[in-house]
Every structure is written in structure tokens, then in C-alpha cells.
Amino acid sequence: MLPDIQLGDKVTLRKEHPCGGFEWEVVRLGADIGLVCLTCKRRVLLSRRELNRRLKKHTPKVDLGESNS
């Protein structure tokens, strides 16, 4: 099961990108998940099933600006 992924989250994939990077940022949600390589800025689309298979680590985006005051 795919974890609850939101825009701006960082993910680490099992297989290295040709540029040498493992870290990606989620930039599109839908039937396909859009990712941007944080090393070379290349954009890719992966199906949810494919992302779930390749996912190694999920780091949620930290929201520092939210407050209830």
C-alpha cells in the first residue's frame, strides 16, 4: 500500500537515476505521480503502482508556517 503522499514530499527510490541521484520531490498527484530529481531537476511520471514498488523511503514535507494563533 502506498503511503499518504502529498505535494512537496521527498521520496528516495531504490534504483539510482542516471545522474547519480536517489532523492526526488513530488510535484504532481493523480493517477500518475510526478517526480523531480533533486540532483538534475529531471521530471518523470510514475504510476502509483510503480512508485510503490520502487519506493525506499518517504519523508513528508514539513510545514513551518502553520499556527493556530
Structural domain spans, the chain: 10-59
pTM over 0.95: no
* CB distance 24 to 6 below 8 Å: no
User: Distance between CA 52 and CA 11 in Å, rounded?
Assistant: 11
Q: Provide φ and ψ at 52, rounded to 5°.
A: -60, -35
Give the rounded distance of the alpha carbon of 13 from its chain centre: 9
Kindly report, residue by residue over 7-41, the tens digit of the pLDDT: 999 999 999 999 999 999 999 999 899 999 999 99
The whole-number pLDDT of residue 66 equals 60
At residue 63, the pLDDT reads 72
Task: Put the strands of the sheet holding 55-59 in their side by side order.
Answer: 43-47, 32-37, 23-28, 10-13, 55-59
Q: pLDDT band for position 62 (50/70/90)?
A: confident
